[in-house]
């Protein structure tokens, strides 16, 4: 007879009881652990999540009150609210049984027991335990879905040849489970592409979980991605599933993957190779089944050469690579994008009948859009909010003059900057060095006195 996959813990102060239960239950279940000292319960529950706990009602010789058992039952429920507990006693009475069930126990068995009844009770309890944990996991998935539900623009818009190539790649790769790496400047729509791949994939009915790796402090990386057990660290007040676990069965989108430090890259690579995770504070491996999509605005291949990004991790995440063109390289898409955003914000701010005049549209197409589609969207929103006439002209759009004129004048001396804000000065110096050396990262970094990796980080910081 095949044993059922279940972890059962028996806590009783009588060695004969422990041996008898372990012998019988080991014939039916894969893992049966015994413990005679109830004070070991907190340690055991921190290290392992048991599917079922058999707990004695009395731990002092001659005591028949059941107070010890009730105390430890409450402690178990405090440590793991989803725990399934069956109480064991030789002094059964209805009052004690009712108190135990009210406190969270599933059932109540008497010593001595009949093996057939004991097995039936345990099998029923295991089904309930599984249901409880599924409900808890669904609740956490729903919370994760709610935090990812803000999709202002669910469709990718564009008719340019560059975007048609992107659409073709999406259609081809979506039908597979291949890992995808999306490269592109900030604001080009990398998350929209990731969502489009998910929607067209066999996993479309499952979850799509987004993680902005650039926004997660290094100290919280493992907890956020792999989850934790209650009590694993100071603020771990309850068991929590990590993003990998929540995304299992669906798609996990890791944005800004180029921002990961080397130690975190190693941890991520280990997880992708093994296909399982361990929550912080637990030794139990949890298998994961995800479709992985990553994105970054950073030049990963250059970072590999500089030993700032692991080559083996890059190979693992880029089975298929999709490069998104910046908006300045698909200017023919600007009118349709501008009209799309105009329609959205007309409705949002209840200003029907707005339009963009021809000269204004020419100005939008002439602008280089360093912030790409995101900047265009914000520019249209501002114009709609501030507009005083039904037709928007170029004056309604806030565009930076140097960008609108094309190439930046790199001959401008530093003292002509209109402020002394250090961030503005640093951004200006980086732009000047990049323009002077025609985008050559190594030469620009040398002139600025930075390493290539440090320059990449600053370029990401200033959206350059």
- Residue 312: other Cβ atoms inside 10 A: 12
* pLDDT at residue 400, as a whole number: 60
Q: Does a structural domain hold residue 17?
A: yes
- Host domain of residue 68: 4-133
- Residue 147: other Cβ atoms inside 10 A: 10
* pLDDT at residue 155, as a whole number: 67
Measured in degrees and rounded to the nearest 5, phi and psi for residue 72 equal -75, -30
Residue 261: name the closest of 214, 321, 198 by CA: 214
Q: Does a structural domain hold residue 141?
A: no
* pLDDT at residue 9, as a whole number: 94
Q: Does a structural domain hold residue 73?
A: yes
206/88 same-domain check: no
Q: Does a structural domain hold residue 65?
A: yes
The CATH number of residue 268's host domain is 3.40.50.300
Measured in degrees and rounded to the nearest 5, phi and psi for residue 93 equal -150, 160
81 contacts 316 by C-beta, under 8 angstroms: no
Q: How far apart (Å, rounded) are the C-alpha atoms in residues 396 and 216?
A: 37
* pLDDT at residue 410, as a whole number: 38
Q: Which residue has the tokens 């992708």?
A: 272
Q: Does a structural domain hold residue 153?
A: no
Residue 303: name the closest of 263, 259, 269, 267 by CA: 259
217/366 same-domain check: no
* pLDDT at residue 97, as a whole number: 66
Please name the residues in contact with 273: beta carbons below 8 A apart, sequence gap of 6 or more. Answer: 316
* pLDDT at residue 1, as a whole number: 64
The CATH number of residue 448's host domain is 1.10.10.60
> Which of the 8 DSSP states describes residue 280?
B
* pLDDT at residue 320, as a whole number: 96
393/452 same-domain check: no
Cα angle value 234/235/238 (rounded, 5°): 115
> Which of the 8 DSSP states describes residue 412?
-
190/281 same-domain check: yes
* pLDDT at residue 256, as a whole number: 93
Q: What is the mean pLDDT of each run of 10 residues along the chain (464 residues)?
A: 86 90 91 92 86 88 80 87 83 68 83 87 85 70 52 66 93 94 94 93 92 88 89 80 92 94 93 92 91 95 93 95 95 94 92 91 91 92 90 83 43 48 79 75 81 78 76
- Residue 298: other Cβ atoms inside 10 A: 19
Q: Does a structural domain hold residue 364?
A: yes
319/177 same-domain check: yes
> Which of the 8 DSSP states describes residue 397?
S
Domain boundary among 291, 323, 355: 323
Tally: H helices and E strands in the chain: 19, 16
253/288 same-domain check: yes
Integer angstrom CA distances of residue 293 from 143, 156, 290: 21, 17, 9
51/89 same-domain check: yes
Q: Does a structural domain hold residue 12?
A: yes
Measured in degrees and rounded to the nearest 5, phi and psi for residue 86 equal -110, 125
243 contacts 250 by C-beta, under 8 angstroms: no
Local structure of 83: helix, strand or coil: coil
* pLDDT at residue 94, as a whole number: 58
339/316 same-domain check: no
Cα angle value 343/345/351 (rounded, 5°): 90
- Show the tokens assigned to 398: 């806030």
390 contacts 424 by C-beta, under 8 angstroms: no
Q: Which residue has the tokens 């926004």?
A: 215
Q: How far apart (Å, rounded) are the C-alpha atoms in residues 397 and 383?
A: 6
* pLDDT at residue 419, as a whole number: 63
* pLDDT at residue 283, as a whole number: 87
Measured in degrees and rounded to the nearest 5, phi and psi for residue 286 equal -115, 115
Q: How many residues does the chain have?
A: 464
Beta strands per DSSP E along 158-280: 180-183, 208-212, 227-228, 240-241, 251-255, 276-277
184/228 same-domain check: yes
Q: Which residue has the tokens 């935090």?
A: 147
The CATH number of residue 62's host domain is 3.40.50.2300
Integer angstrom CA distances of residue 108 from 69, 111, 191: 12, 10, 52
325 contacts 188 by C-beta, under 8 angstroms: yes
The CATH number of residue 353's host domain is 1.10.8.60
Q: Does a structural domain hold residue 275?
A: yes
């Amino acid at each position: 007879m095949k044993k059922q996959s279940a972890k059962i813990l028996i806590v009783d102060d009588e060695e004969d009881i422990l041996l008898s239960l372990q012998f019988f239950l080991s014939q039916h279940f894969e893992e049966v652990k015994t413990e005679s000292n109830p004070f070991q319960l907190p340690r055991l529950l921190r290290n392992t999540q048991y599917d079922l706990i058999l707990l004695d009602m009395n731990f002092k010789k001659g005591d028949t009150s059941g107070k010890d058992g009730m105390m430890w039952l409450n402690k178990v429920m405090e440590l793991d609210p989803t725990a399934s507990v069956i109480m064991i006693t030789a002094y059964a009475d209805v009052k004690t049984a009712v108190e135990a069930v009210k406190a969270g126990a599933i059932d109540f068995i008497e010593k001595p027991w009949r093996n057939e009844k004991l097995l039936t009770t345990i099998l029923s309890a295991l089904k309930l335990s599984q249901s409880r944990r599924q409900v808890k996991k669904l609740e956490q998935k729903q919370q994760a879905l709610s935090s990812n539900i803000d999709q202002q623009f669910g469709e990718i818009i564009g008719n340019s040849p560059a975007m048609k190539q992107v659409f073709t790649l999406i259609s081809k790769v979506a039908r597979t489970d291949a890992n995808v790496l999306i490269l592109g400047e900030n604001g080009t729509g990398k998350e929209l592409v990731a969502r489009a791949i998910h929607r067209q994939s066999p996993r479309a009915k499952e979850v799509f979980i987004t993680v902005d790796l650039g926004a997660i402090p290094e100290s919280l990386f493992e907890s956020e991605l792999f989850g934790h057990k209650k009590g694993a660290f100071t603020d771990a007040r309850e068991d929590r599933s990590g993003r990998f676990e929540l995304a299992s069965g669906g798609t996990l989108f890791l944005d800004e993957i180029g921002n990961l430090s080397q130690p975190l890259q190693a941890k991520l690579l280990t997880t992708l190779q093994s296909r399982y995770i361990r929550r912080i504070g637990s030794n139990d491996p949890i298998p994961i089944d995800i479709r992985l999509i990553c994105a970054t605005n950073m030049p990963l291949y250059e970072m590999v050469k500089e030993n700032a990004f692991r080559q083996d991790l890059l190979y693992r995440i880029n089975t298929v690579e999709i490069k998104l063109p910046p908006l300045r390289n698909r200017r023919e898409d600007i009118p349709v994008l501008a009209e799309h955003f105009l329609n959205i914000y007309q409705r949002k701010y209840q200003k029907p009948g707005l339009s963009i005049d021809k000269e204004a549209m020419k100005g939008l197409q002439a602008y280089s859009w360093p912030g790409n589609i995101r900047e265009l969207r914000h520019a249209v929103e501002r114009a709609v909010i501030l507009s005083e006439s039904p037709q928007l002209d170029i004056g309604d759009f806030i565009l930076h003059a140097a960008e609108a004129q094309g190439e930046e004048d790199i001959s401008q001396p530093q003292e002509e900057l209109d402020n002394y804000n250090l961030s503005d000065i640093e951004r200006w110096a980086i732009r000047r060095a990049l323009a002077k050396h025609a985008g050559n990262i190594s030469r620009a970094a040398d002139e600025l006195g930075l390493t290539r990796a440090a320059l990449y980080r600053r370029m990401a910081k200033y959206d350059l």
